Structure 1
Amino acid sequence: MSEPSSKACFDAKAFLKTLTSRPGVYRMIGTDDKVLYVGKAKNLKRRVSSYFTRALNLRIQRMVVQIERIEVTVTHTEAEALILENNLIKSLKPRYNVLLRDDKSYPYIYLSTDQPFPALSFRRGSRKGGGRYFGPYPSAGSTRETLQLLQKLFPVRQCEEGFFRNRSRACLQYQIKRCSAPCVGLISETDYREDVRHAELFLDGKTSTVVDALVARMEAASAALAFEQAALYRDQIKLLNRIQERQYVSGERGDLDIVAVALQAGTACVQVFFIRAGRNLGNKAFFPTIPAGAEAGAVLSAFVAQYYLEKAVPAEIILSHAGEDQTLLEQVLGEQAGRRVRISHRLRGERARWLQMALNNAELALKARLASRIDMQGRLERLQQALGLDESPSRMECFDISHTRGEKTVASCVVFNAEGPLKSDYRRFNIDGITPGDDYAAMRQALERRYTRIKKGEVALPDILFIDGGKGQLSTAHEILVELGIAGLTLVGVAKGPDRKAGMEQLFLFGDSTPIILPADSPALHLVQQIRDEAHRFAITGHRQRRARSRKTSVLEALPGIGPKRRQRLLKQFGGLQELTRAGVEDIARVDGVSLKLARLIYQAFHEES
């Protein structure tokens, strides 16, 4: 379809004669009332005139010839125009603007300081009410990682209030030394408050103060001959020092964000490193939609406006490229934060090195995106939309149970990340001590073993936990997670649909009675099916191997007088169990270390078994 000419669609000269020179926002509108572009201006007449009175790049020329009318909104100041522009871009999503799709609220760590025994928890969204908030963190995963780290350092409870108030005995958190059990009075309020104070100091970046306090307590415990307690303080100090070496940014003690952009093949990646109280909280990649021919500075300016307006703003933002309207952005963000906000891009020394690292990360993430965005990234984004998640999941786990009439039950755990199956993190669990065929008990045992390790910090916590089953299995999983004090992940049951046909699966989110039924051609459903089928395959393989080992070795293992070395010697001599079962008594007795009496026992065992 050919594009209409600007003369036929829009009389620019007549419009410009009526246009004010005051600050405001303009909206360029094309056919079918579709907004093409939203912009702001200190002087509306001068800014809009520039689209029709000077040479423009090809991208702007293509936009201008589609204009049918222009609407303006006059504001008191340019700062007001910037805020209005940002809101209109988010709501209208114009084709020729840079669009940041990832507009969610970021997670924080919340400390309920208004309670006798405060709790640490994962929070997202509004930060109203009592207590303290620490963050924001770049992702749910980095927030949970910090919460796990805090439990190692300071045994402050992380359970929900309802769970805390209804305990009659200490939970698993106390048993694995991740909580001091204030719920049943195993710690005084004074001692508990001291742990809370240390956790606050750590989150504020005052690790040295915490270390000094722990050193004093260690020395006091040692002087009182409480060597076991002194050793605990010593271990805390060692861990804190290692964390400080790993997390602190050289020469920094304040709050700042490092923002770098990479452009390639019409795609942009913006990488943000979050530094809070001198600590590197991690980084996150964003992939805004950009118009053709967009330049790095323009992309960064649009990103900063859309990302930071109406959010917590650090004291300083470092950019990889000079952005447009830098002074205006500093003014508006400073007014929003109630203090000065500095935006800079020309750096030296250590800061330049960190900025280069952010730029390298942006380039690497962009290359990975271009290589795989058609497949895995697209399916993850569709899954995010289907489940109503705040962010695209970066790590997912799925559990399945396999057995034959209750024999040799095996549970599987498979892990997927943004690149697909993460086979190095796959795990199997041999299930024992349950009623044969009790899948609920098997799932409970597997989840308890897996997520106890996660609570100890040995394994990363996933964003989504898939359970192969319906509401019953889902409830069992939720009970285990509550018992372990694990929150912040999405729990999904994958139930087979009518006639157990592929494409008819029902997804149950815990707490929702109505299942999510996706179309058979949905990329999100295909991803769930792949994860579920991989868990099923891994469980069946493990079960078959366990059953085969049992049937091959149980006969020899049950015989008295045959230990591991003699058993190995027999199998090597005959080239395997199958040939051993065919051997006669005399043949077996020829093996070194096997008497004629023992050979008869072996022979009889095999033939009675058969």
Structure 2
Amino acid sequence: MSGFDIQSFLKSLTRRPGVYRMYDSESALLYVGKARNLKNRVSSYFRARGLNAKTVALVSRIDHIDITVTASEAEALILEQTLIKQHRPPYNILLKDDKSYPYVHLSQHEFPLLAYRRGKRRKDGRYFGPYPSSAAVRETLNHLQRLFRLRNCEDSYFNHRSRPCLQYEIQRCSAPCVGLISAEDYHRDIVRSEKFLEGKSTELIRELQTAMEEASANLEFETAAELRDRTEFLRQIQEQQRVESGSHNSDVWVIVNWQATTCLQRLTFRQGRLTNSQSFFPGNPAGDSDEELLTGFLEQFYLNDHSGEGTPDVLIADIDTDLTAPLLAVLQERGSRMKHQRGQRGDSRQWLAMATENARTAIQSRLSGMQAAAGKLDKVAELLKLKETPKRIECFDISHSQGEATYASCVVYTADGLDKSRYRRFSIRGVTAGDDYAALEDAVRRHLTRLLEQNDLPGLLLIDGGKGQVGRIRQVLEELQITSVVLLGISKGTTRKSGWEYLWFASDRTPLIPDAHHEGFRLLQHVRDEAHRFAITGHRKQRAKKRSESELETLPGVGPKRRRELLLHFGSLRNMRGAPRDEFEKVPGISTALAAKIFATLHGEEQE
């Protein structure tokens, strides 16, 4: 695992139900999980012992964790399945099947059928759900048949009955197929069933409670226990599913100011199902009001196509409709029919409350991480005995393969943690292949020259290297007359093992060998490792690009058209190498000067 501060994260984690998403250092989704208690569940991954090999491998790759708070565990389960089917994380196995969610279906008929359905909703009628499991749906239908005696046979069977079936005999059906119940009375039971499935049947719960009390008073304890269990189960299944409601595509936005931090939270609903949750922490240099800030952000978000799920049908945000009118007008010209709702009632109101809860959770996690990061910088100052705590650490590393595709990286650590927006890569050219000292000097000089002009120097400059590299960079600082930056090198010790590194000050002849468990030292290791990772990534991309190029593509002054003419004239690169210089002048579009350049490049000669 990278430098993810799990202890600070866990301290701020809520105990409410929800979904957690684990990402690696490249922000690739590793695993999606649900929890009844997020704090307890996520904490279980970081126990000192008792983890299996798969979990250990997963934890070692975690860079950060995102949280989405839900209203219930059932909602968490449905959101978890949605995210797994959408992203297919490599460490999720059990829920990768493509089964859809189970529903209760009420058909369109004079005597409607109440049945279990899974899959696409092709049949007419009303669908209730989804439910967390097929067992819950079947149990629901079982209880509804006991309560309301609704039919459970298909229309083909229902239309050909001449006498009641066994379901009537065991009091699970009122036998509408043979006219033993009127359409009016059956419709009354259907209405009651719909109210119950919509979560509005509190009268039914009270009725069962009354019956339970009467049974208990009559010493019918088994009946009372059965009624008690049924009442409890009915309460469980009538819980309204806020994760899915209707078929609209909606984006829900809230802005929350808490503890001097502003968070914009977006919940994405597609086909009525919650599919994504995002937190944004924008700056507000102009001091705009919350409504103005949110409106400006929405305009940039949708007009610049930052929405990965497309433009929604409904934008739900509690801001003045006049503020969103220009945005909706522009989107309408582009073919979108997005409407704005303030979300003051119904599901929209509940979704806004859910978004607000997620925003507060995101702020809490962010503040906790910022406090931990600032504390680590204090530990670095303590380790190095600095007079002031550095506000920013910048670390440089070099990566190449036998001098090929040399890249330098610069990563940045601030009081907010790793600041990836300030990461930089430097392609090294004009330096002898394999000369790490010169490559490092070139990158640092270019970087510090720019920062010096901007008056934005770091507090600590960390170099992945020993005394030699530090001495070379010290000369750069002296040439640029920079005295406010602390220069430090970190190198492998004699054992070449992690935890046994040396720290080199520019003015010292002997290294500092710190305690391997010191928190400041561990931060320096983490920043160095991040710089190494970032440099290797750039180097590998450049090397792959270079090796994938044909030598023809590197010829000076030769584009696609001239390259095609050269191949038509010579037939192959081998024939070009064996041709005399004046032969190149015969190719259409190739001048005498360009022919000389091409000939020199093919034969490794210096151009005059």
Relative to the length of structure 1, the TM-score reads 0.33
Relative to the length of structure 2, the TM-score reads 0.33
